[in-house]
Amino acid sequence: MSDDRRLTGPAQVPAHDSPLWEVFVRPRRGLSHTHVGSLHAPDAALALRNARDLYTRRQEGVSIWVVPATAITASSPDEKDAFFDPAADKVYRHPTFYVVPDGVAHL
């Protein structure tokens, strides 16, 4: 099979040959994107189409992000104390000094 034919459709490309993409969906306007899963696809356009078909079949979303898994850098849960320790002494970052009004669903 030539490389040109290999990239013409998802059925012709084995999953292990395609890069892994992380999928984030925003369920409604005003809310944040949330990680919903991963998929394999040869390029961003196909990853976006496959993500739409897999994760928003029932119109659950208004926006989709696909990100190559290799582009994500994450902190280690084992190092959380040392990594997040500097934030503990900045109490002004925590909104504990005021009351959120009733009826405000998302701030």
Residue 8's pLDDT is 42
Q: What is the pLDDT of residue 13?
A: 54
Euclidean distance between CA atoms 19 and 105, whole angstroms: 38
Q: Which of 16-20, 32-36, 65-69 has the lowest mean pLDDT?
A: 16-20
Q: What tokens does 5 get?
A: 């034919």
How high is the mean pLDDT of the chain? 80
> Does pLDDT of 22 surpass 80?
yes
Distances (CA, A) of 87 to 14, 24, 50, 60: 45, 27, 39, 35
| Domain 3-75 fold | Ubiquitin-like (UB roll) (3.10.20)
Helix (H, G, I), strand (E, B) or coil at 35: strand
Q: What does the alpha-carbon distance between residue 52 and residue 63 come to, in Å, rounded to a whole number?
A: 9
- Tell me which of 28-32, 55-59, 85-89 is least confident: 85-89
pLDDT tens-digit profile of 74-100?
888 888 777 777 665 666 666 676 777
Query: Could you identify the residue written with the tokens 């459709």?
Result: 9
Rounded-to-integer distance, Cα 80 and Cα 23, Å: 25
What is the per-residue pLDDT across 2-20, written as a single tens digit (0 to 9) for each? 444 444 445 555 656 899 9
